[in-house]
Each structure stands twice: as C-alpha cells, then as structure tokens.
Amino acid sequence: MAHEPAPSLYAAQEPVFPRKVKGFYRTFKWWIMAVTLGIYYLTPWIRWDRGPNLPDQAVLVDMANRRFYFFWIEIWSHEFYFVAGLLIMAGLGLFLFTSALGRVWCGYTCPQTVWTDLFILVERWIEGDRNARVRLWKGKWTARKWRLRITKWTIWLVIAMATGGAWVFYFADAPTLLRDLVTLSAHPAANITILILTLTTFIFGGFMREQVCIYMCPWPRIQAAMMDPDTITVAYREWRGEPRGKKRDGTAGDCIDCMACVNVCPVGIDIRDGQQMECITCALCIDACDDVMARIGKPRGLIDYLALSDEEAERAGAQPRPLWQHVLRLRTIIYTAMWAAIGLGLVYALFIRSDIELTVSPVRNPTFVLQSDGSIRNIYDVRLRNKLGDDRQFHLSLISDDILRIELEGLGRELAIDVPANETILQRVYVTARPQDPAASRNSTPLRLWVEDLGSGDKASWDTIFNGRESQ
Amino acid sequence: MADRKVDEETGVDTTGHSWDGIQELNNPLPRWWLWTFYLTIIWGIGYTIAYPAWPMVSGATAGVLGWSARGTVANDIAEHDGQNANLVTALLQADMTTLPENADLNRYAVARGGAVFRAQCSQCHGSGAAGATGYPNLLDDDWLWGGEMEQIIYSVTHGIRNEVDPDAHWSQMPAFGDIFTKEETAATVEYLVSLSSSEFDATLAEEGATLFLDNCAACHGDNAMGDRAVGAPNLADAIWLYGGDREALTYSVENARFGVMPAWGQRLSEEDVRAVSAYVHALGGGE
C-alpha cells in the first residue's frame, strides 16, 4: 500500500467555473434577477407626497427622527412591533416555502445568489465561457490576463459600489444624498456604509461565492430541518439514470455521464450524488440535463424538481403523487395559517391606528399631593402625539364616576393644547379631588383621560387611577 | 507526516487521532477561514496598540490614538452645549415671569432644571420634590417664601438662613419652651389644632387664641395665615412641615424648628438657577 500523507486540516477553495446554460429555469432566474435588482436600485427614487412637513420619499428609514415611511404607511418608533411582525412573517414565509419547495429562497432570491449570478454574467462576458475561464485561470499572468482580470474587477467594483450606494439611499433623501455624495460633502456614515457594502459585495459576489453559502450562512443548516420527503426539490432520478455511461447494450441508464449538470453548477457539486448541504437548488442542472436529453432523444426530467418520496415511488414502478398532495399537507397548512394570522393581525392593527395618541404615566413619587385646603391632587405625565402632517389643537377631558377636577400645568383650566405636526409633547396634568369628595379619601378611583382633535374629531383615551388619602 | 487514514464507515479522512477506538474525522476547514482567524489576531494586536488596553502597574496603556471613553463623553457634552448655546442665551435674557409662554424655551428650561434638581436638590426635597418632615414639599400650593417665579429664583439664589449669603431669607422663631408654661403651650397647641380640625377642647383653644394673639400673631398673622415676608408658615391650612398632631406641635412651639438651605447662586450658574426655578415653578404649585 502506497504511503499517502495525511490530508491537511485546512482545505483550499476549489475554483468553480459555471458553464453557460439556457432553459426554462435560467430564463426564470434572469427575470427574477431583473425584478429584484430593479426593486432594490429604484425604490429609493420613488416619490410620495406627504405634505410640506414630511419627506416625500416613498420608502425611507429616517433614523434621526425615528420614523419609517412606506408609501402611505408611517411607522413611529413606538410602533416597531409592525416591523417585528413583518420579520416574523418573513421567517414563517421562509419556513413555508422551504417545506413546500425546498431552498427556493437560496436558489432564486437570496442576494448572495442574485449578485453572484450577476458577477458570473460579467465574468463570462469578459473572459468567455467555462473552458476559456479555466484556461485563463491556469495560464500565466500575461498582459492579456491582466487586462481581462482588471476589466472584470473594475466592472464588479462599479456594480458593488452601486449596491452600497443604493443601500444608503433608503436612509436619507435620495436626491439630496446623491448630490452630497457627488460633491464629496456627504455624512461620513454614508461614505463608510458605501465602502463596507462595496467591499462585501465585491468580495462575496466575486471571490467567496459558494463559500458564503457553505461556510458562512446558517440557512442551509436551518432549512434542512424544514424539508422532508414530500418537499419538492431539485433531485436526480437515479432509477432512470443509472448505470450511467455510454454503453449501448441496452443495460445503460439515461445518464450519459456528460457532466453538463456538474459544469453548470455554481456551487461545484454533483447533483447525482444525492441531496447535499451545498445545493442551493438553483435548478440550472435541470436546464443543462434537459438540453442533453433533448439532443439524445430521451424524455426530459432526468434531473428535475421532484419529491424524494416520488423518486422512490417511481423506482418501484408506482405513479408519483400529484403535486398538490405534496404541497398541501399539515405542515404547510400550519405555516400558512400562522403566516396569515400574523398578517391579518398587522393589517387590523394598522387600520385601528389613530392619528392622535396619548400615553399617560401617573406620577407615583409621591402617590398624591396634599394641597393647603386639604384637597388631594394626583399628577400625570401625559404624552400627546400628533401623527398628522399639520399642527393640531388637542382637547383634554376626564371621565370618572366621582367628582374630579382636571387642570393643566401652565394652562390651568384651559384644556386645549397646541401640538405641532409630527411631534410628541409632554404635558403635566393635575387631577384634584376636594376634601369632601369621596375620591379624596378613597384608596383609588378609576378615571379615563380623553384627548380629542377638535379639527378632525379623532379621539384617543387612556384609563388610569386616582389615588386618595387611603392609598398611603 | 503521518500516513493518510480513512474511516471505513463514512469514507472521510481521519486525523489519525484515536481514543478507545473512537477516531477523529477530518472534515477540513476552509483555508480562508484560517486566514480570517489570523487576520483577527493581527487586528486585535493593532487594536490594543491604537486603543487603551494593556494593564500596567498604574492604569493601562493609553493607546496611540489617544482615545478615551471620558474624552468621548466630554466631546458629546461640549457638542450638546454648543447645540444648546442659543437656548442658554435666550434663557439668560428671558423675562422669567413670562417664560411659560415661550413653549420651546420653557421646555428646555424645565428639562434642564429637572436635571439640576435631581443632582442638587433631591437630597433634601426628594427625587419627586415631595419633601419630607422639615423639608418643604414643592408640589403643593403652600409656600413659605412665595411661589411666584421671581420669589422662587430669589430663594434658590440666596437660600434660607445660611451664613454665607447676607441676602438669604432669614427669620427665626423663639423657643417658647423658655417663655410659656406647660399649660400655656398646651393651650396654644389646642388653638392651632382647632384651626384645621374639628376635634378639639373649645375652652382650652379659646385660652390658646389669646396667647396666640399676644405672642405669635406678629409673625403668623392674626388669623394664623402666616406671612411670606418673614417666612412664617400658614398654620390654618392642611399642610404641616413638622407634623400637625399635638405632640409634634408641642415640640415645635417649645423648641422652634426651622430649616436651612444653601445659597445656590454661589454654586450654580445663572442659567442653572433660572432653569431649576422654572422646573420648581412647573411642578404644580407655581403661582
């Protein structure tokens, strides 16, 4: 037995040179790339009129003022649960799609996949298809190689910079920020963000590629737990393809071992080895194999979207179960129900939202104040929020079963407060019970504070407690 | 180098390590990951040179960038002060009696005053300004020296009965323990109780009323309503600084209790005095 040295504990990256491929899934992926990148690059430039006091950018994360604008929806920082709800929906949606259709997120819409696809497109355009690229990679660093490499890297850098550049436009007024960026007067945070995102896009899309998916991303591990034998995924019909080879004695399977599926794979695996952690289910091997099958006059679908349970059924000569039976099963129904429940809850919460709000913090240090005439006063810090685009006058009032008197700091018995557009103001409110009133001596008396915008008629209320002498 | 060994079960290379027949498989880490690890070490070393890090005998290395957390705070404060410079100027020039009409400036003054109050005043008056026995409650409508803005500013600036500011409010009640007999004290106390309570000995209180008129009314007023000019408390209202039961009143009459407050004008900046006065005025009792 020959003595082979033990392999290193560290493995070098195996370069992958995906070959060009044409077909249904490739075309579908081009469309998805165009739409997702289009949304990403163009969204910040959509304008949306919100009146004179608010930004006119349709989608804007306004960190400085703690607002999130999404077309007609405006999320304040205290309403962040909407964003949390959307994130939960995104998570559940990912579970749903993964359990039904495998890693479609990875294969079609993940930014890493989309940008890598774009970078490979540029690479192929500059350096040629797979064989030319392999030759170039193996060849010496001639002037031509330098020229091609530098051209490619330059275009990558431009795309990367546009990527980082588009990101910052979501956080500030896009036209203003673009002007500042061009005149080099933009805030350092914008420049640093662009620099970081340019570098990560350049490195991840140009050089790391499948390494990001295999070693850096947690999703492959998590998504594997979402899949089961009913999940529709990219698989090889082993019963049909094996034994592979070019034998013509009638015993050979359909697979002619042309390696087309391996050559087009962006992560450099062989789908015929079965389900693998590295596979992002981009479906390009399906296109490649279908092309070959058509040329040798065999039916398409040697490599295809299929459920692993069907592969076994077909092997045994049985009919595969219909698609809807794979997709509609308890697991996917539960995911869909949870997803929809949260979605409906968010929509409901969005519709019952008032344009004016109040929150009341009773001052409990001390619990009450004894006035010189023996009456008992409670103090409340009331925050009044005007979410409308113009200044409003709010009217405060109090409802209780007992006699209580409301006054405002600085305004006395005048209960109208001016609240500027898009602002929250703090108003100190005094509620007083005369010595002879029951509320003055009782432990606690419930009361409700109302705020009304006299202009629009919008109302909001808050229930709280009045502490009497016995509360001490 | 050791020979290559392959685990028969999995077909994966082993490291050659074996414990009780359990072999360690070798699924190699990507080499770039190793480089990243080395890079973080180099970064870490650079970081400890650039920033304060290595503990020495006294203190730690300062770092070549000269950064410090304290310096950052100082910069933030300076920046903040710069942003508020206009408000401070406006506060210093403002007519304090009409301050609440200027909503923005008032908000700034009250917020700033709240910070000053919690740092300087809360030790005696309490963090909620509710006071304690002997330390006036600033939330109510009862004032010893007046609750108008200018009066509050005066009290804050010069303080009460301190030795350092000649303009400090000053008044002192005699200790009637040396002047009254026990019976006279008891009668006076009964009269004081009668002013704000319905349960009292009418005969005794009537006797006390005479004693009060002769001895106390000069400062506390004929109706015991007090006199803010001399800081004499209103004895006819519901509020007692040292307690309103007979025992506490007897002690007060016999020993004459009073408090002391520093002259904050000597310790705080003018804008802080104005701000804390605005804050106290806006607590609920401001007049």
Query: Over the stretch B145-177, which tens digit does the pLDDT of each residue have?
Result: 999 999 999 999 999 999 999 999 999 999 999
Dihedral sign, CA of A278, A280, A281, A285? Answer: negative
CATH number of the domain that residue B210 is part of: 1.10.760.10
Mean pLDDT, residues A73-97 taken together: 92
Give the Å distances, CA to CA, from A336 to A17, A327, A330, A342: 39, 11, 10, 10
Q: Which domain holds residue B233?
A: 176-255
Position B79 pLDDT exceeds 90: yes
Return the CATH architecture of domain A356-471: Sandwich (2.60)
Q: Are residues B117 and B184 in the same domain?
A: no
Supply the pLDDT for residue B14: 85
Percent pLDDT > 70 in chain A is 98
Structure tokens that stand for A336 in this block: 């869909």
Structure tokens that stand for A372 in this block: 């010189």
Q: Are residues B118 and B141 in the same domain?
A: yes
Q: Is the residue at B21 inside a domain?
A: no
Q: Are residues B144 and B181 in the same domain?
A: no
Chain B residues contacting A, CB < 8 Å? 1-5, 13, 15-16, 26, 28-34, 100, 103, 106-107, 126-128, 130, 137, 139-142, 196, 234, 237-239, 282, 284
Q: Is the residue at B121 inside a domain?
A: yes
Distance, in Å, from the CA atom of B27 to the CA atom of A8, rounded to the nearest integer, reads: 10
Q: Are residues B154 and B180 in the same domain?
A: no
Position B196 pLDDT exceeds 70: yes
Supply the pLDDT for residue A8: 81
Q: Tell me what the pLDDT averaged over chain A comes to.
A: 92
Q: Is the residue at B69 inside a domain?
A: no
With the CA atoms of A340, A345, A348 and A354 taken in that order, what torsion angle do they form, in degrees rounded to the nearest 10?
-150
Mean pLDDT, residues B55-67 taken together: 90
Among residues B26, B25, B31, the alpha carbon closest in space to that of A215 is found at B31
Mean pLDDT, residues B5-31 taken together: 84
For residue range A250-279, what is the model confidence (pLDDT) as tens digits? 778 899 999 999 999 999 999 999 888 899
Q: What angle do CA A227, A229, A233 make, to 5 degrees?
A: 65
**A108 phi and psi angles, rounded to 5 deg:** -120, -40
Strands B22-25 and B14-19: antiparallel
Q: Is the residue at B56 inside a domain?
A: no
Supply the pLDDT for residue A1: 44
Give the Å distances, CA to CA, from A301 to A150, B104, B157: 40, 72, 91
Q: Are residues B150 and B121 in the same domain?
A: yes
Q: Are residues B240 and B184 in the same domain?
A: yes
Number of domains composing chain B: 2
Mean pLDDT, residues B258-271 taken together: 95
Q: Are residues B246 and B200 in the same domain?
A: yes
Distance, in Å, from the CA atom of B269 to the CA atom of A115, rounded to the nearest integer, reads: 60
For residue range A375-431, what is the model confidence (pLDDT) as tens digits? 999 999 999 999 887 889 999 999 999 999 999 998 888 999 999 888 899 999 999
Percent pLDDT > 90 in chain A is 71
Distance, in Å, from the CA atom of A326 to the CA atom of A311, rounded to the nearest integer, reads: 13
Mean pLDDT, residues A101-106 taken together: 92
Quick one: pLDDT band at residue A219, thresholds 50, 70, 90? Answer: confident
* C-beta separation of B272 from B107 below 8 A: no
* C-beta separation of A98 from A21 below 8 A: no
Q: Is the residue at B143 inside a domain?
A: yes
SS3 A417: strand
Interchain CB contact of A414 with B (< 8 Å): no
Q: Are residues B250 and B269 in the same domain?
A: no
Delimiting residues of CATH 2.60.40.10 domain(s) in chain A: 356-471
Position A2 pLDDT exceeds 60: no
Instruction: Output b/e per residue, A151-165; b: 16+ Cβ within 10 A.
Output: ebbeebeebbbbbbb
CB contact under 8 Å between B26 and A430, yes or no, is no
Q: Is the residue at B190 inside a domain?
A: yes
CA distance B54 to chain A (A): 29
For residue range A307-325, what is the model confidence (pLDDT) as tens digits? 989 988 998 888 888 888 8
Q: At what angle do helices A24-42 and A143-169 cross, to 10 degrees?
A: 50
Q: Is the residue at B12 inside a domain?
A: no
Percent pLDDT > 90 in chain B is 81
CA distance B131 to chain A (A): 9
Query: To which H or E segment does residue A413 belong?
Result: none
Strands A444-453 and A459-467: antiparallel
Q: What is the pTM of this model?
A: 0.80
Q: Are residues B185 and B228 in the same domain?
A: yes
Quick one: pLDDT band at residue B40, thresholds 50, 70, 90? Answer: very high
Q: Are residues B238 and B110 in the same domain?
A: no
CB contact under 8 Å between B28 and A11, yes or no, is yes
Supply the pLDDT for residue B2: 59
Supply the pLDDT for residue B189: 95
Q: Is the residue at B46 inside a domain?
A: no
Q: Which A residues 425-464 touch B at CB under 8 Å? A: 426, 428, 430, 435
Q: Are residues B187 and B246 in the same domain?
A: yes
Position B1 pLDDT exceeds 70: no
Distance, in Å, from the CA atom of B48 to the CA atom of A399, rounded to the nearest integer, reads: 62
CB contact under 8 Å between B28 and A369, yes or no, is no
Interchain CB contact of A2 with B (< 8 Å): no
* C-beta separation of A427 from A394 below 8 A: no
Give the Å distances, CA to CA, from A417 to A25, A428, B35, B282: 62, 11, 63, 16
Q: Are residues B102 and B150 in the same domain?
A: yes
Dihedral sign, CA of A435, A438, A444, A445? Answer: negative
Structure tokens that stand for A188 in this block: 């350092």
For residue range A164-213, what is the model confidence (pLDDT) as tens digits? 889 999 999 999 999 999 999 999 999 999 999 999 999 999 999 999 99
Q: Tell me what the pLDDT averaged over chain B comes to.
A: 93
Mean pLDDT, residues B229-248 taken together: 93
CB contact under 8 Å between A9 and B29, yes or no, is yes
Interchain CB contact of A6 with B (< 8 Å): yes
Other Cβ atoms less than 10 A from the Cβ of A379: the count is: 23
Distance, in Å, from the CA atom of A251 to the CA atom of A236, rounded to the nearest integer, reads: 19
Distance, in Å, from the CA atom of B256 to the CA atom of B176, rounded to the nearest integer, reads: 7
